[in-house]
Amino acid sequence: MRGLRAGLLALILLSMSILPGCLGLVVSRELMEWNRGVPETDEVVDVYGFDHIFDSTDPQDIIFNPAPSEIRIDNEVKEMRIFFRVEMDFSDIAGIQTNNITNTVRYVHAKLWEPGANKNTDEPFWQDNATSDRYPPVQRKYPPFTPGVWELEVSAQGYGLDTPIDQISFHDEFEVSVSIVRPCIEFPERADPNECIPI
């Protein structure tokens, strides 16, 4: 392969020196295109979201309310994957749901807003609420999507406690993410083997 590349480079240099002006450039370009491998189509996934582990019972640390995550959506997006997982220890004790007792002090609310939505009157594109353990499957959404800047919001309150007795230590935690899937092209000659150029 190295010998082929060296031969091609010599041929390009020769054609540029023998053929006048633009003609030499055209021949050189065609030789380079001939040597280029066939690009392949793949997909690139951008992930936006929040994950948090509560590690305190201090009133200053039990609330998690970050700024919304901005997600740019364009016409190239071919899929949206929404993941929502919540773990709240002791939300079920001996088969009895305790979330009815604790749902005002332990919760995770997540919402995904489309561009231009009025958050006071419009319904979110997607939302989920949890006051106990939740492990729903990944939700997959497909075009058409409204182009623009979407917002993923989360507000949560939970507790974490470390005790000398490991069995009664606990840490509420959650993860919410939106994965944006776009097609991309991989060129055989790329310097970075993981580079995939969005279409």
pTM higher than 0.75: no
pLDDT at residue 25, as a whole number:
59
pLDDT at residue 98, as a whole number:
47
- 156 half-sphere exposure, CB direction, 13 A CA radius: 32
Contacts for 3-11 with beta carbons within 8 Å, 24 or more apart?
4/35, 5/35, 8/32, 8/35
pLDDT digits (tens, 9 = 90+) for 99-134: 444 545 889 999 999 999 999 999 999 999 999 899
Burial class of residue 15 in the structure, from the number of CB atoms within 10 Å of its CB (0-12 exposed, 13-18 middle, 19+ buried): middle
**Helix (H), strand (E) at residue 177:** strand 173-186
**In this structure, which CATH number among 2.30.30, 2.60.120, 1.20.120, 1.10.3710 belongs to the domain 41-185?**
2.60.120
pLDDT at residue 95, as a whole number:
46
Better-scored residue on pLDDT, 102 or 191: 191
CB 176 within 8 A of CB 92: no
Give the domain ranges of the chain.
1-36, 41-185
pLDDT of 184 > 80? The answer is yes
Q: How is residue 31 annotated by DSSP?
A: H
Closest alpha carbon to 110 in 174, 193, 189: 174
pLDDT at residue 195, as a whole number:
66
pLDDT at residue 165, as a whole number:
79
